[in-house]
Amino acid sequence: MSKSKRQKKLTIIIIQDERRLFSFKFPMSFLTICLVTIIGLIIVSFAAVLFHNQVRSLSKEEFTARLETQHKPADVKNAESEADSVKFNTVAQTYSLSIENFKARFDLTKQSFRYTFLLKNKNSKSTTASGYIFVILKSEGLESENWLVHPQTDLLNGVPQNFKNGDPFSIIKHKVINKNITAQYIYNTLEIFVFSNDGNLVLRESFNLKN
């Protein structure tokens, strides 16, 4: 016959004045569970405190960075602006594009606006230049949400985003860009944005439509 194993127990006896008052018996498995639970709670509490301290540290660093940006000297800000300008000019020189023979005409009877211009590649190596074109029609005192953007896209500080939404182009020497878009109003200014295939703004030029 197989003998069943006797479960180990821990007995706690309380004695006062050499008299036995109480005794408690706990299975060892119960004590093991209690010990594991206590250790688990300690680990979780320690992790929570560590996570809280990291969050506070990150928030403090972000707040400090914002303060440093707000109180950054004007010459540093100008240097950063010049660096962005240098980057823009470098990319623009790589493409070396120009806009010539710009013409535009409103026809409100047909609610249309036609514009045409010659996009010229001035790169001496005659390499292919390709990218995307946007035009924005605007007027003085007119809020940006009322501007006419073609093709339609979001603007950030007046500059088109999602550059691949623009009209694509690819030229070796030059190409005539000719478009007819819907326009219900007459605008005073047209601004042309040309982006490279990588999304860099390589050309930005404004034209007066009042004349």
pLDDT tens figures, 166-201: 999 999 888 999 999 999 889 999 999 999 999 999
Predicted confidence at residue 116, as pLDDT, reads 94
Place 34 in a pLDDT band, splitting at 50, 70 and 90.
confident
Predicted confidence at residue 99, as pLDDT, reads 92
Q: What contacts 133, CB < 8 A, 6 or more positions away?
A: 119, 166, 167, 168, 169, 177, 192, 193, 194, 195
pTM value is 0.55
Strands (DSSP E) along 54-171, which ranges? 97-107, 112-121, 129-138, 148-150, 155-156, 159-160, 167-171
Predicted confidence at residue 142, as pLDDT, reads 87
Residue linked to tokens 């000019």 = 89
pLDDT tens figures, 17-27: 566 655 666 67
> Per-residue pLDDT for 85 more than 60?
no
> Per-residue pLDDT for 211 more than 70?
no
pLDDT tens figures, 50-61: 877 776 766 556
